Amino acid sequence: MGNCNACVRPATTSDSKTRHRKQKKSKERKPNPFSEDSIRSPAGPIRVLKDVVPLSHRPRIGDKYILGRELGRGEFGITYLCTDRETREGLACKSISKRKLRTAVDIEDVRREVAIMSTLPDHPNIVKLKATYEDYENVHLVMELCEGGELFDRIVARGHYSERAASNVARTIAEVVRMCHANGVMHRDLKPENFLFANKKENSVLKAIDFGLSVFFKPGEKFTEIVGSPYYMAPEVLKRNYGPEVDVWSAGVILYILLCGVPPFWAETEQGVALAILRGVIDFKREPWPQISDSAKSLVRQMLEPDPRKRLTAQQVLEHSWLQNAKKAPNVPLGDIVRSRLKQFSVMNRFKKKALRVIAEHLSVEEVEVIKDMFSLMDTDNDGKVSYEELRAGLRKVGSQLAEPEIKMLMEVADVDGNGVLDYGEFVAVTIHLQKMENGEHFRRAFMFFDKDGSGYIESDELREALEDESGQTDNDVLNDIMREVDSDKDGRISYEEFVAMMKAGTDWRKASRQYSRERFKSLSLNLMKDGSLHLCDGVTGQSVAV
């Protein structure tokens, strides 16, 4: 699954503090095809893996493996160290809680992830799925153990980082994309966090993990669902008309960051990032680009080609002269500026992601339930769709002040398939758009999570404890970097106001929840369409269509 760690990943914090969350009593209501109950069989518990063997007769994971310490937490479950009872091989077990698979889409995601990981051939740069198990409570995915840390963390830790080193990483990523595409798989969520080193050795292999957003594709097939992480999102994803070329774009963004330490498309807001992506202007003037070879710049340009038809394929990337002549690439250090930027990029996102996971977890557990209740309330004829009349009446019931023309516009831009009604996915996008998820209560909840003694400040020791959960070690340089960046009044602690300022700056949209990601950026796309910034491509003709 998308954010449930497949290997040794930094542990999230939202799950560990929610064990005492009160459970709401379910209300009597008509059956809804999108509700949690609808994906359970009347004859028994939910079945995720497609298998004719009853759950009571399936092999138990404990018979084959010993589950050990927790390695990390994600949106849907927990990753444990596990040991093969016979061979004593150390592996990772991702245990996905069925209670958190609330929709048919969630279940299909797990099935597809298993199918994709089972389909991909053995490859040194792709994490290997060893076995799958299912019981009444969880689905268990046993896979290779990766304990060498994330890509950027390794680069930052090294004292010497050069263009040649970047080319080696780029070749690995391009090879992963080539292998996926050759087997009819589109990854859709390539980013540095999804590449881990197998071990801590200097020559450790880099492996791609997390195929939770990946899909099978056929030649010429186009997709419309907006998924992925904004920094790495191709323009055609925002236009909802894309194919496997998006993976090459994402790899190009990673390469740009590897070479200069910052993303090519950046803004203070998610809409600003999207607009920067759509404009496609790449900056090669900032340091250290003047010192980087023309061949490297050429590859970046061709990977970040806005027109997917002109963009290089993964095979063409591998055949590019910069990668073919990697040993001849400059081996001089790119300078402290790149490592410093990468460190800040990695560390600050790590801190933010921790806070954002608290928010996302809250959203996924409670606010999504509110959305489901609202859908049931508005879907008065219980047909699994919300018509314009039902939307208008429902908004009035919940006290919305939207005028009639605004409701019509909302309906028009949200009704992606143009059938005159909103399905559940379209409805969620509307609700998130209306409710504005970045509210003060979410920030307050996240701040309180870090402020363990309730002093009103995040002290250095509290920050150190939080980062220890993520990295497994205390790094004073990391702590100092964060305090220097966030502690604006330099009193040695982080106030609530400083915390909120950090969360709102730069990458405040990097949510951990996959479902949030899907609906949030669908909502973003609606905003861009409404203000005229985004033109969709007709799925048949490929022509730009103004919305």
- Cβ-contact 132, 48 below 8 angstroms: no
For 114-205, list the strands marked E by DSSP.
129-134, 138-144, 185-186, 195-197
Is the same domain home to 140 and 163?
Answer: no
pLDDT at 487 > cutoff 80: yes
pLDDT of residue 486: 83
Domain identity same for 60 and 187? no
- More confident position, 196 or 368: 196
**Each residue of 410-454: pLDDT tens digit?**
565 455 455 678 877 666 555 544 554 446 777 787 888 889 999
Question: 514-530 and 270-279 are packed helices; what angle lies between their axes, rounded to 10 degrees?
Answer: 70
pLDDT in tens, 115-156: 999 999 999 999 999 999 998 889 999 999 998 888 877 776
Report yes or no on 382 lying in a domain: no
Given this model, what pLDDT does residue 404 score?
A: 64
- Of 307, 324, 346, at which residue does a domain stop? 346
Decide: helix, strand or coil at residue 329: coil
**Residue carrying the six token digits 């005028």:** 403
Instruction: Look at residues 346, 361, 386 and tell me which one is the last residue of a structural domain.
Output: 346
**Catalytic residues, which ones?**
189
Query: Structure tokens of 520?
Result: 């949030």
pTM: 0.62
Q: Are residues 114 and 196 in the same domain?
A: no
- List b or e across 365-383, with b for residues whose CB sees 16 or more CB atoms inside 10 angstroms: bebbeebbebbbebbeeee
CA distances from 20 to 15, 16, 23, 317 (A): 10, 10, 9, 50
What does the pLDDT look like over 491-513, one tens digit per residue?
889 999 888 877 765 433 333 33
The CATH number linked to 80 is 3.30.200.20
Q: Does 94 appear as a known binding residue? A: yes
Dihedral angle, C-alpha 286, 151, 223, 128, nearest 10 °: 160
Which residues, in sequence order, are bridge partners of residue 94?
Answer: 79, 141
Looking at the structure, tell me whether residues 129 and 222 fall in a common domain: no
Please say if the pLDDT value at position 22 is more than 60: no
Report yes or no on 282 lying in a domain. yes
In a domain, 527, yes or no: no
Tokens of residue 282, six digits: 């790449």
pLDDT attached to residue 537: 44
> Is residue 215 within 8 Å of residue 203, measured between CB atoms?
no
Tell me: pLDDT of 36 over 50.
no
Q: Band the pLDDT of 543: cuts 50, 70, 90.
A: very low
Number of domains in the chain: 3
Q: Assign residue 180 the CATH number of its domain.
A: 1.10.510.10
Task: Kindly state whether residues 215 and 139 are assigned to the same domain.
Answer: no
Q: Do 317 and 222 belong together in one domain?
A: yes
Domain boundary among 83, 116, 144: 144
pLDDT band for 266, please (50, 70, 90 cuts): confident
Predicted pLDDT at 271 = 76
Q: Could you identify the residue written with the tokens 């991909």?
A: 120
**Band of pLDDT at residue 367, cut at 50, 70 and 90:** low
CATH of the domain at 450: 1.10.238.10
Q: If DSSP codes are grouped into helix, strand and coil, which group holds residue 531?
A: coil
Give the pLDDT mean for 8-21. Answer: 40
Who wins on pLDDT, 113 or 539? 113
Query: What's the pLDDT at 14?
Result: 39
> Are 54 and 133 members of one domain?
yes
| Separation CA 103–CA 107 (nearest Å) | 7
pLDDT band at 45 (very low <50, low <70, confident <90, very high): low
Do 340 and 212 reside in the same domain of the chain? yes
- What's the pLDDT score for residue 385? 87
Between 251 and 59, the more confident residue is 251
> Contact 429/529 with Cβ under 8 angstroms?
no
DSSP 37: G
What's the half-sphere exposure (Cβ side, CA atoms, 13 Å) at 198?
Answer: 16
In a domain, 95, yes or no: yes
Domain of 336, in residue numbers: 151-346
Residue 307 lies in a domain: yes
- Calpha distance 190→186 (Å, rounded): 10
